Amino acid sequence: MASEMVPIDGEEKKRVCYFFDSDVSGFHYGPGHPMKPTRIRMCHSLVMNYGLYKKMEIFRAKPATKREMTQFHSDDYVDFLSRITPVNMNSFIKEQHKYNVGDDCPVFDGLFDYCAISAGGSMEGAARLSRDKCDIAINWAGGLHHAKKSEASGFCYVNDIVLGILELLRYHTRVLYIDIDVHHGDGVEEAFYTTDRVMTASFHKYGEYFPGTGELRDIGVGKGKHYALNFPLRDGLSDENYKSVFEPVIQHVMETYDPGAIVLQCGTDSLSGDKLGCFNVSMRGHANCVKFVKSFGKPLLMLGGGGYTMRNVSRCWAFETGLAAGVELGPDIPVNEYYEYFGPDYKLDVKSSNMEDMNTRGYLDRVKGIVLDHLRHTGGPPSVQMTDIPRGPVDEQMEDPNEDEDLIPPDVRRPQRLLDSRRQADGELSDSDDEGEDDRRDHANHREKDGIATSGARRFGAAVGIMSTGSTHGIGPTVALPVTSTPAPAASASTDVDMDEDEPPVSQTKAKPAPAENTRVANASSNLNDAMIVDPPATSSTPAQP
């Protein structure tokens, strides 16, 4: 029985498109790595068992092609991602150094397919928004904001956000990007640092913290000057303080910039208790940002991002999916395939702890004043002439992909052929996908504290990268172990594999390969410059050294 959904009073009904690809749970960064794509399937399981599928349209997006990825990324980088595998990675040692693929961003089975699914959902969501097929598009597999034009960074390989924004820019003169991840959205800011057609606003932890960018005085250059906003925050940020700075800043941004569409990166590593985060924001405090941005009524693309305590990630994104659909989910977790991970209380809420908030009122007011002063320098929304909107073959397909369906009044029952085409395959959410051969599940060592083995465990990103303070660059390439014919020993309580204590079993199902290329070509400038480097102000901590 599905848990309750309570309609939100005064909420205008929105057309919501929700993107999910069941293959996403088949990817695994490696033992001990904090990024776990399975969290997206955990969220989807909550979405389905709460009954949210009744409130929105669910799509499986076409994976992005190499050609589509090169709208932002360099050709040689995309080609490298498509070719490297754990089997042949020893032949790409030089390229791994060049493209920063190593410990933070490891090589794993299906790497390119994983990137294609993430980017495809964001681009498809942006395309449907631009063509007025929906009011809100959601892709929790997206939001990988650290990837650069020719470099992987912070668990991100392909920047689906930039690709989605480029799609939106074909139909909208101005796009606003808002980032509420605990880490600075450096990849997106850098991509649009020299243009006024995209304003980026990032609220993040700053000071000896990955990626070491996002300083208060990083405001853009050239035509993009004052169109990059950064709000550096300190440890322990509370709901009350977050709301006190987020709402007035975004209110002024909307009044000053007047965007045609909004992209919201909903990274949940800003939640209290996240394994890599340092804020003390509750689920409702995080969701308040989503609710406030939605209230402006602009076309909205909601994307995932960071989040490394999986039971909290899935709770928060499921709750925010409900807000997008105009309902508030009930407090009790419904029975689902990951039900045991939500114990012992089996409640939806993620609450704040008693962590001290280092963001004083004086500090927040001072930073807010500086950010609002940068906004005043923009002088109102910039004017962009758009006389010719480019069109390609995909535009004709997207013009009305479900023409017959759209002719049917919403209150009339759909034909059986349409209902059949939307059915999920039997057993798609069964546990069998998460089991290994001979019905054996992967085992973790729960004798060690936090499930971390004390000997022989391979640690990712030791002393550098997103999993620690310091350098923004990875250690280097990971060398593949030689393949032997000796069978692997059975897992035991003394295993040296570093696993998370709350990590669901890894799916053994391989992702489907991306289909043939299509031509979703964007008309956007490829003249992208690096972010301007400036000395930190006296009021902020020293940034991490690159």
For 310-357, what is each residue's pLDDT tens digit? 999 999 999 999 999 999 999 999 999 999 999 999 999 999 999 999
Residue 154 sits at the vertex; the CA angle it makes with 150 and 155, to the nearest 5 degrees, is 90
9 confidence band (pLDDT: 50, 70, 90): confident
Whether 482 is covered by a domain: the verdict is no
Nearest to 450 by CA among 306, 308, 337, 336: 308
Q: What's the pLDDT score for residue 470? A: 42
103 confidence band (pLDDT: 50, 70, 90): confident
Residue 38 sits at the vertex; the CA angle it makes with 37 and 44, to the nearest 5 degrees, is 110
Helix orientation angle between 38-50 and 310-324, rounded to the nearest 10 degrees: 50
Q: What's the pLDDT score for residue 11? A: 83
Q: For residue 122, report the phi and psi dihedrals to the nearest 5 degrees.
A: -70, -40
Whether 254 is covered by a domain: the verdict is yes
Q: Give the C-alpha separation, 216 to 383, whole Å.
A: 26
Lowest average pLDDT, out of 25-39, 54-68, 243-257, 517-531, goes to 517-531
87 confidence band (pLDDT: 50, 70, 90): very high
Task: Tokens 């689920």: give the residue.
Answer: 283
Lay out the sheet containing 300-303: strands in order across: 57-59, 16-19, 136-139, 300-303, 261-265, 175-179, 198-205, 228-233
Q: For residue 243, report the phi and psi dihedrals to the nearest 5 degrees.
A: -65, -35
Bridge partners of 44, per DSSP, are none
More confident residue, 448 or 108: 108
Q: Which of 33, 146, 172, 184 is catalytic?
A: 146
Q: What's the pLDDT score for residue 10? A: 83
Whether 283 is covered by a domain: the verdict is yes
Bridge partners of 138, per DSSP, are 18, 302
Q: What is the CATH number of the domain that holds 163?
A: 3.40.800.20
Q: Mean pLDDT throughout 369-382? A: 92
Q: Between the CA of residue 466 and those of 210, 279, 422, what are the distances in Å?
A: 5, 15, 39
CB within 8 Å of 493: residues ≥ 6 apart: 445, 447
Q: Please indicate, yes or no, whether the overall pTM of this predicted structure exceeds 0.85.
A: no
Q: What's the pLDDT score for residue 4? A: 84
Q: Between the CA of residue 90 and those of 109, 155, 316, 462, 478, what are the distances in Å?
A: 15, 20, 39, 21, 8
Q: Mean pLDDT throughout 194-220? A: 96
Number of other CB atoms surrounding residue 84 within 10 Å: 20
Count up the domains in the chain and report the number: 1
Helix (H) or strand (E) run with residue 183 in it: none
Per-residue pLDDT at 544 exceeds 50: no
Q: Are 51 and 330 in contact (CB under 8 A)?
A: no
Q: Give the C-alpha separation, 351 to 285, whole Å.
A: 9
- Considering the chain, what percentage of its residues have pLDDT values greater than 70? 70
Q: Give the C-alpha separation, 338 to 505, whole Å.
A: 10
Whether 422 is covered by a domain: the verdict is no
Asked if omega into 344 is within 30° of 0 (cis), the reply is yes
Lowest average pLDDT, out of 41-55, 287-301, 339-353, 435-449, goes to 435-449
Quote the tokens at residue 282: 């509750």
Q: What's the pLDDT score for residue 265? A: 98
Nearest to 315 by CA among 42, 7, 20: 42
What is the domain range of residue 166?
Answer: 10-377
Task: Tokens 């956007």: give the residue.
Answer: 524
540 confidence band (pLDDT: 50, 70, 90): very low
21-56 burial code (b ≥16 CB/10 A, e <16): bbbbbbbbbbbbbbbbbbbbbbbbbbbbbbbbbebb
Q: Return the HEC string of 488-500.
A: CCCCCCCCCCCCC
DSSP symbol at 25: G
Q: What's the pLDDT score for residue 422? A: 57
Whether 294 is covered by a domain: the verdict is yes
Whether 363 is covered by a domain: the verdict is yes
Nearest to 261 by CA among 144, 136, 381: 136
Whether 496 is covered by a domain: the verdict is no
- Considering the chain, what percentage of its residues have pLDDT values greater than 90? 67
Q: Mean pLDDT throughout 275-282? A: 97
Amino acid in position 199: M
Whether 440 is covered by a domain: the verdict is no
H helix runs in 9-83, sequence order: 38-50, 66-69, 75-83
CA atoms within 13 A on the CB side of 228: 29
Q: Return the HEC string of 97-119.
A: HHCCCCCCCCCCCCHHHHHHHHH
1 confidence band (pLDDT: 50, 70, 90): very low
Q: For residue 202, report the phi and psi dihedrals to the nearest 5 degrees.
A: -120, 130
* Residue 146: active-site member: yes
Per-residue pLDDT at 513 exceeds 80: no
